[in-house]
Structure 1
């Protein structure tokens, strides 16, 4: 890279027909420019310029070298411009693994907005609950809720989701409305698998409450649906139950108590990402981090 930079300086000196004018164009000290060209001559083992007090002249070797340098520098500048255009207007297929309920409820409008910004990108999404293998499978990125299990992968934080307590009006009419954490022990609580306990915080203290219920589930979508059918209380981020809240199927209860915040990450196999993936992650980070 340094050699290419010195070649570009040499081209500017020849085009300007002198160090002084070239130094003004390049906005660098004349002495520095002269030293860089001398270093270039030493590196290639050829004298490129005849220097006088008033002007410079190319040597025979310098003329040949100038023609080649100019071509290389022009090609490098063109490649840089094309790269800049590619970064600004990415294209190709973006393959991503997304958490089902979070994607359908919350990410879908953001993805639609992103697609409108970058019409050159097409999308291949996997919304199955399985943990895809980013090393052996052709995915560009996986969006995951919770701490990543594989420390060998690159995890970029996108947001932090704070779970809250929700229930349907029908359930609350049947079972009564809990007012404090200990009240949850006598309620039907719908959680992922056998959580056994929920940890709640009111900003001053944390309380861990034993919870249980008739249902053992591994689907957030099913938990959410059962809650709307008056089957119990859920502890979920507002982003997951946004539609149910808007439609009045669920309502926020015990508003002074929240669950433990859960991080959202963009997981990739490498730090060297194509432009489409860089833009997608950056876009989600901006929108989700608000």
Structure 2
């Protein structure tokens, strides 16, 4: 086959052969009839033989035309299959969706949303990576990453702020029975501090109140961990005072398992962001997941009826949807 042969010529030939008419083929391909005629002539010139004979009533395949018809139809069918697949994926969310999220945020706050999304979109294969590492979305073929705190700058990626987590200090009644609750930030120096770490470095406790700022040196910590969930567990076991998102501790405060320390002092909120490849030509599976995530975290955001219905199929403790973030 000549190296300069254009596959489009074979597609046009197959359509003319199937319709038996240059005019009908032109309509089916949304091309001018003159273009169809010219491309067939071009194909014949490249092959060195005629592929079609025109009569007053119909188009007849030559021997060469009959020989190449099967291959031409196969090309046409493959193109149609790709178009059908693309059309379907524009209307039905499907395929593998790879999501990276911090394990503590995912297991404590986002699990109901993941479960409801999975029920609402059964054609989507949800693959979750809940390791603390920052995945390379492009190199590792991830669709969306959910991250707490600062994110790297990358022109290939789009960032969407989802919500800000209020951060507070918490301790168990067992710990406070051994050491009275601090009433000033200075008294935190004598406490067993359970500190968050990022990149191997402990995060400074920066307390603020009405223009006042007090910084607690994290080097005097009892424990440092790169997981809020682990700090949460240490606090519940009475190991010390932990820095935690208020949402993570809400149920334990309500049950009395944890007590908030120095509630009149605030700490910088932790932003939760979604990071994903450029929004241009975003697959439907990614778009509906992002919309579901926004609806879950932001009250009042328009909800997907399929996801709303899916919450009703979850256990009672999850049926009301989002936790109070």
Q: Same fold (TM over 0.5)?
A: yes
2:277 corresponds in structure 1 to: 269
CA distance in 1 between counterparts of 2:244 and 2:175 reads: 17
State which drifts further: 248-257 or 268-277. 248-257
SS of equivalent residue, structure 1 residue 109: helix
Q: Counterparts of 1:154 and 1:234 in 2: how far apart (Å)?
A: 33
> Structure 1 regions of 5+ residues with no counterpart?
1-63, 74-78
Q: Residue 256 in 1 paired to residue 280 in 2? A: no
Give a deviation string over 1:122-161, Cα, whole Å, max 9, x none: 2111111111111210211111001102333221111111
Residue 146 of structure 1 pairs with residue 152 of structure 2: no
1:281 to 262, 286, 290: 290
What value does the CA root-mean-square deviation take over the aligned residues? Answer: 2.8
Q: CA deviation at 1:69?
A: 5.2
Which position in structure 2 is the counterpart of 1:137?
A: 140
Q: Which runs of 5+ in 2 are unaligned?
A: 1-21, 32-81, 300-325
Task: Report the counterpart of residue 200 of structure 1 in structure 2.
Answer: 207
Deviation at 1:68, TM superposition (A): 4.5
SS of corresponding position for 1:191: strand
TM-score (norm 1): 0.67
1:118 aligns with 2:138: no
Q: Distance in 1 between matches of 2:192 and 2:266?
A: 18
Identify the residue that residue 238 of structure 1 maps to in structure 2.
246
2:217 counterpart of 1:213: no
In structure 2, how many angstroms separate the alpha carbons of the residues matched to 1:84 and 1:147? 37
| Match of residue 164, structure 1, among 151, 161, 168 | 168
Per-residue deviation, 1:277: 0.6
Q: What is the aligned partner in structure 2 of residue 229 from structure 1?
A: 237
Moved more, 123-132 or 188-197: 188-197
Equivalent positions of 1:32-51 (< 5 A) are: none
Q: What CA distance in whole angstroms lies between the structure 1 residues aligned with 2:203 and 2:145?
A: 29
Secondary structure, counterpart of 1:137 in structure 2: coil
Q: How many residues align?
A: 221
The 2-side partners of 1:84 and 1:237 are apart by 42
**1:103-133 Cα distance to aligned partner (Å, 9 max, x none):** 0000001111222222221211111111111
Is the Cα–Cα contact under 8 Å of residues 105 and 241 in structure 1 kept in the other structure? no
- For the 8 Å contact 1:228–1:250, the answer to whether it is kept is yes
TM-score (normalised: structure 2): 0.60
